Structure 1
Amino acid sequence: MASTRNGATPQAELDLADELGYQLVRFVRLLHKAKSQVAKQGPDGIERAAYAILFSLIHDGPQRTSKLAEGLHSEISTISRQSSSLVQHGLVERQADPEDGRACLLAATAEGERVFEENRKQRNLWLAGVLAEWPEEDRHTLNTLLDRLNTGIEEHSPQIADDHSPVQAKGA
């Protein structure tokens, strides 16, 4: 965001940010609506929320419950309950932590990877349908811009954004 000498952000940029905020809220609500239209439990009997654990284990490798809770911004008790269900269904297994034999790591099983890929395929078919009438160039542009937005969000925590707010800049 550009700012003037006194640290204030121009109104036009704030207006664009406001529109983006509106569109992001709308986007998140629509995603929640789409997810709620899919059964709370998948065809394999697993809570939809538990797939976030499976995603993390597949993409980031075996992890302790505490690391999963931190990465998923969830309570350890929630992660424990959901991961227990994944273990019972054979999608995740507990392994000894090589750094601390008293602790265990959760890891995706081959069946967990298969189920994850099947769910991913269903998601991709849905998204392809949503974007089917978009020109190919627009679909590529969307991916590029979402990547840039995600990277920007990862690099700028809300706390940093608060440090540059107009109120802070005025010494309030």
Structure 2
Amino acid sequence: MAPATTEAARTAAELDVADELGVQLVRFVRLINKAKSQVAKQGPDGIERAAYAILFHLIHDGPQRTSKLAEALHAEISTISRQSSSLVQHGLVERQSDPEDGRACLLAPTAEGLRVFEENRRQRNRWLADVLADWPEEDRQTLNRLLDRLNSGIETSIPQVADQGSAQSKGADA
């Protein structure tokens, strides 16, 4: 975890840049959510868009218990349970017995789940390629590099629980 810095340790110029970044990130998240809601209208009937996050984790991290998925997705176990049941009903996920504890079950993607996930990924990639079509290659590479760097910085600097209340109240003003 990166050391916490006080606001006084930052210059006015650094805080101005951070404020503009905050504004742009809020705009970005809103636009991504708008795009995702449009895509959701085209998705398979009965499957919540949020359920695809479960499928993503199962494909990338392997079979998991519901409790581990809830922790990874910062969601309630009941929510993950409901969404995963929908994925099971649609044949995208299956329940397997846990080899470490036969009383428990693991959720795992099916071949159909992998196919649907890859199709969604191809659609997302085509859309992003269209968005960036008029960007020079160097700018596209720079964007990827800088987003990776930003994500890595965020991952190592997630606020502690005590800080989240003040961060959330500040975020409400954005």
What interval of TM-score do these two structures reach, taking the shorter chain for normalisation? 0.7 to 0.9
- SS of the equivalent of 1:102 reads strand
Q: Note closer, same or farther for the CA distance 1:39–1:7 as it changes in structure 2 (3 Å cut).
A: closer
Spell out, residue by residue over 1:105-142, the C-alpha distance to the aligned partner (whole angstroms, 9 max, x if none): 00001111011000100011110000000000100000
Q: Within 5 Å, which residues of 2 pair with 1:1-172?
A: 8-40=9-41, 42-43=43-44, 45-159=46-160, 162=163
**What's the TM-score once normalised by structure 1's chain length?**
0.86
**In 2, Cα distance between equivalents of 1:161 and 1:81:** 30
- Gap runs ≥5 in structure 1: 166-172
Q: CA deviation at 1:13?
A: 0.7
- SS of the equivalent of 1:38 reads helix
**Do 2:91 and 2:113's aligned partners in 1 also have CA atoms closer than 8 Å?**
yes
**Do 1:40 and 1:47's aligned partners in 2 also have CA atoms closer than 8 Å?**
no
| Identity over aligned pairs, percent | 83
**Aligned-residue CA RMSD (Å):** 2.5
Spell out, residue by residue over 1:130-157, the C-alpha distance to the aligned partner (whole angstroms, 9 max, x if none): 0000000100000000001111111111
**Do 1:91 and 1:112's aligned partners in 2 also have CA atoms closer than 8 Å?**
yes
**In 2, Cα distance between equivalents of 1:150 and 1:34:** 21
Q: Which residue of 1 aligns with 2:169?
A: none
**In 2, Cα distance between equivalents of 1:12 and 1:148:** 21
Corresponding residue pairs, total: 162
**Do 2:46 and 2:86's aligned partners in 1 also have CA atoms closer than 8 Å?**
no
**In 1, Cα distance between equivalents of 2:87 and 2:127:** 25
**In 2, Cα distance between equivalents of 1:161 and 1:40:** 38
Q: Note closer, same or farther for the CA distance 1:12–1:58 as it changes in structure 2 (3 Å cut).
A: same
- SS of the equivalent of 1:95 reads strand
Spell out, residue by residue over 1:3-58, the C-alpha distance to the aligned partner (whole angstroms, 9 max, x if none): x9x96211111111111111000000001111122234613542211110000000
Q: CA deviation at 1:161?
A: 10
**What's the TM-score once normalised by structure 2's chain length?**
0.85
Q: CA deviation at 1:59?
A: 0.3
- SS of the equivalent of 1:158 reads coil
Q: Which segments of structure 1 move beyond 6 Å, counting only runs of 4 or more?
A: none
**In 1, Cα distance between equivalents of 2:42 and 2:127:** 18
**In 2, Cα distance between equivalents of 1:117 and 1:50:** 15
